[in-house]
A and B are shown apart, each in its own frame.
Chain A
Amino acid sequence: MTTAVERETVLDVRDLVKHFPVRQGALRRTVGLLKAVDGVSLELRRGETLGIVGESGCGKSTLAKLLTAHERPTSGRVTVLGRSLHDLRGGELRRARRHVQLIFQDPYTSLDPRMTVAATVREPYDVNPDLAPRGDRDRLVRELLEAVGLNPDHGGRYPHELSGGQRQRVGIARALALRPEVLVCDEPVSALDVSVQAQIVNLLEELRERFSLAYVFIAHDLSVVRHLADRVAVMYLGKVVETGSEAEVYESAAHPYTRALLSAAPVPDPAARGTRQEIVLDGEPPSPVDPPSGCSFHPRCFMAEDGCARSAPVLEPVAGAGHLVSCHLARHPGGDGP
């Protein structure tokens, strides 16, 4: 893949926190906090793809909304091309937000059923009139449809006339209209069949090269993330527990959760059955409303010791400088454990 060492940082996230109050009863009193995102820091450079994996409730979808300013953080900062979204208001905020666009999971609900394909892709220009003169917009829409592999002559069609893959292409075309630097893709292929999923994965790769896009690619499918990502962050209960290059995370995973996640993913090869080391975790991810003490993974961890329930580990480098792990026990990749 591409080396991203000297490239410009397009997205910088520091100590991002999003807590939702949990209300109960007739008076809607706040009885607790749902810690959806609980101190996440990330950096993304131009043309780079950061994969984010984790299970339901780990906060990955909330993170996507924070990065694209669909939600305001409780604390922490999102900096886009050197400008903090937090400090911006009005038109300036709108212009900064353009640089980071969101691709939704479900192409069935994310398109307005009453708008044609062309009108959907054209809408960002109507909302941001300074982006392109009125006379150019039809041409731009046709170019965008072509770029995402749709027939520009089919712009008059409605979402219900399209397949799932075609709808996802419309969503991508609309996001590209604003000439973003970053696309945040939240489970963009998980609602699609395998054969169509491959088409969209290929399209995202093509677009990345053509427009020097950076991606935050959020998915629960580890093999899709591995295919696309230069770097990977593994989330558990609102926190990044491990991050590193694709090879560091997939080949020398150091956090017990990452190792369990990788071993639980079925391998599409019957010949490999019984040959891989399997770590089957007990239980399910606990609720982010009342996370366990200390390391939040300790109740499910096959390595946990007494200390893990007492103090929370922090992200620290393991082998390489860019390979960070938050675990008291996983200092050396491939170390102890079953």
Chain B
Amino acid sequence: MTRLESLPGYDAAAPLLAVSELRVRFGATTVVDGVGYEVDGGQTLAVLGESGSGKSVTARAIMGLVRPPRGAVTAGSARLRGVDLLTLAEEERRRLRGTTIAMVFQDALSALNPVLSVGYQIAELFRAHQGLSRKEAARRAVEVLDLVRIPSAARRARDYPHQFSGGMRQRVGIGLAIALNPQVIIADEPTTALDVTVQAQIIRLLGELQREHGTALVLITHDMGVVADIADRVAVMYAGRVVEQGAAAEVYARPAHPYTEALLGAIPRPELRGRRLAVIPGAPPDPGRPEPGCRFRPRCGYAGDACGQQPPAREIGPGRLTACHEWERVTTP
């Protein structure tokens, strides 16, 4: 088993996960354009964005799931305690997947093999990574299913993926991710396909597991309600870039980027009944035809002359970043 400590660049004082200046290209199109965020143990970072913002591609790139010929990571780093995942040999990176960093997918079915029982699939992790015996691995698999609150875990371990309901399947997916006790979990829209009451169960489960194990959780979502429910910090993405970052409570109370402000204004709230919702005019830009300057400029009510230049990420408070030339006008009531 490769230990993180033995890999080049390891620094116990570095953040658990630090993504920096990440660029991903699909063909000629840059879909992730200099993304950076950090998360530490015991923290939940929500990556909030609409479809096409690059939030999922960033996660897949960190996990090493963006590969030629489809796509390529062209710049940047994704460091676990200083160890850059993107420059590691595939063999070493594969060993870190599951043991140090793991992913929960939107559709757990896609992460599971349909012809193997779920217990077998979880047990395989213990056999491959920890060299456990078949019997011991099977016992640990049942423990994992128990941990993700699957009732009658010992019996359900023998069932196949299609025999589980959507919510139970997502619990299995979470079980696969946490089995080897990774330090970082990236969950990509883990509740989007689920009903409201089931979503509440899964969000609660993720929060509990995260607190009990001190894991760093990166939650990728488009749901501003889910972010408000669970995230300590939030990174807002738009058109392949992080436009704003900070403590969730602060970002929601005092957005410092016009896009965040507009998103928050577009949510229906009880006090807005009978009134028109605030809308963001137009549509997100076509990533195949990038225009210079701020990507949000064509839809932005604050846009000025400076916005023809790409705004740098500016630190406007401790851990609080915004990529907007006009942020002072946005935060002025």
B223 & A266 in contact (Cβ 8 Å cutoff): yes
- CA A197 – CA B278 in complex, angstroms? 11
Which residues from chain B contact A202 at a C-beta distance below 8 Å?
A: 276-277, 279
CB <8 Å contact, B267 and A1: no
Number of A-B pairs, beta carbon distance below 8 Å: 120
CB distance from A57 to the nearest CB of B (A): 9
Q: What is the distance, in angstroms, from A2's C-beta to the closest C-beta of chain B?
A: 10
Residue of B nearest to A224 (CB): B268
Residue of B nearest to A225 (CB): B268
> Which residues on A sit within 8 Å (CB–CB) of B269?
223, 268
The answer to whether B276 touches A205, judged by C-beta atoms less than 8 angstroms apart, is yes
Q: A202-B276, A273-B229, A280-B200 are in contact. Are A226 and B195 (CB under 8 A)?
A: no
* B166 contacts A by Cβ under 8 Å: yes
Flag whether B197 is at the interface (Cβ < 8 A).
Answer: yes
CA A150 to CA B256, docked complex, whole Å: 32
A57 to chain B: closest residue by CB:
B195
Closest to A227 in B: B268
Q: From A287, which residue of chain B is reached at the shortest CB distance?
A: B165
Contact check, B199 vs A264: say whether CB atoms are below 8 A apart.
Answer: yes
Q: Check B325 for interface membership: any CB of A closer than 8 A.
A: no
B228 touching A267 by the CB < 8 A rule?
yes
Q: Mark B188-232, 1 if CB is under 8 A from A, else 0.
A: 000000011111110110000000000000000011111111010
Contacts A195-B262, A198-B277, A271-B249 given: A281-B267 contact, CB under 8 Å? no
- Taking a contact as CB atoms under 8 Å apart, the answer to whether B283 and A268 are in contact is no
Bound state CA distance, A196 and B222, in angstroms?
13
Q: B197 contacts which of A1, A205, A264 (Cβ < 8 Å)? A: A264
For B253, the closest partner residue in chain A by CB is A271
CB of B116 within 8 A of chain A? Answer: no
Indicate if A199 sits at the interface (CB-CB under 8 A): yes
- A222 contacts B196, C-beta separation under 8 Å: yes
Query: With A and B bound together, what is the CA distance between A260 and B223 in angstroms?
Result: 19
CB pair A267 B277 closer than 8 Å:
no
Which residues of chain A have C-beta atoms less than 8 A from B280's C-beta? 195, 198
From known contacts A194-B50, A194-B263, A272-B228, infer whether A264 and B252 are also in contact, taking CB-CB under 8 Å: no
In angstroms, how far is the closest chain B Cβ from the Cβ of A250? 7
**By DSSP majority rule, is chain B's interface helix, strand, loop, or mixed?**
helix
B196 touching A268 by the CB < 8 A rule?
no
Residue of A201, A261, A269, A271 with most chain B CB atoms under a 10 A cut-off: A269
How many A residues face the partner with a CB closer than 8 A?
42
A267 and B248 CA atoms in complex are apart in Å by 13
Q: Are A270 and B273 in contact (CB under 8 A)?
A: no
Tell yes or no: A265 within 8 A of B by CB.
yes
Contact, CB under 8 Å: B197 / A227: no
Chain B residues positioned under 8 Å from A281 (CB to CB) = 197, 200-201
With A55-B197, A270-B252, A271-B249 known as contacts, the answer to whether A193 contacts B273 (CB < 8 A) is no
A217-231 interface (Cβ within 8 A of B): 220, 222-224, 226-227
Minimal beta-carbon separation of A257 from chain B (angstroms): 9
Interface residues of A in 227-269 (CB under 8 A from B): 227, 246, 250, 260-261, 263-269
Whether B276 pairs with A266 at a CB distance below 8 angstroms is: no
Tell me whether A261 and B268 are in contact in the complex, defined as CB-CB below 8 angstroms, given that A195-B279, A199-B279 are known contacts: no
| List of A residues within 8 angstroms of B283 by Cβ | 163, 165-166, 196
- Whether B274 is near chain A, meaning CB under 8 Å from some CB there, is yes
- List, in ascending order, chain A residues with CB within 8 A of B268's CB: 198, 201, 223-224, 226-227
Determine whether A284 belongs to the interface, using a CB cutoff of 8 Å to chain B: yes
A194–B224 CB distance below 8 A: yes
Interface flag for A124 (CB, 8 Å)? no
Check if B264 is an interface residue, CB within 8 A of chain A.
yes
B195→A285 contact, CB < 8 A: yes
Q: Which residue of A lies closest to B250 (CB)?
A: A270
Smallest distance from the beta carbon of A295 to chain B beta carbons, Å?
Answer: 17
In the complex, the answer to whether A265 meets B166 with C-beta atoms within 8 Å is no
Residue A138 interfacial (CB < 8 Å): no
Residues from chain A with a CB closer than 8 A to the CB of B51 are: 193
Q: Does B167 contact A (CB under 8 A)?
A: yes
Q: In the bound complex, do residue B50 and residue A265 qualify as a contact, i.e. CB atoms below 8 Å apart?
A: no
Evaluate contact between A284 and B195: CB separation under 8 angstroms.
yes
A1-B274 contact, Cβ under 8 Å, with A266-B228, A272-B228, A284-B195: yes
9 smallest beta-carbon distances between A and B, as pairs: A266-B225, A227-B268, A193-B50, A55-B195, A264-B200, A198-B266, A195-B280, A198-B277, A270-B249
24 contacts between A and B (CB under 8 A): A1-B273, A55-B196, A56-B195, A193-B222, A194-B263, A198-B267, A198-B268, A198-B280, A222-B196, A223-B270, A227-B268, A264-B197, A266-B200, A266-B228, A266-B229, A268-B252, A270-B227, A270-B248, A271-B252, A278-B200, A284-B168, A284-B197, A284-B198, A285-B195
With A1-B274, A260-B197 given, name 13 new contacts (CB 8 A): A55-B197, A195-B266, A199-B279, A205-B276, A220-B195, A220-B196, A223-B270, A226-B270, A227-B273, A264-B200, A266-B229, A268-B264, A278-B200
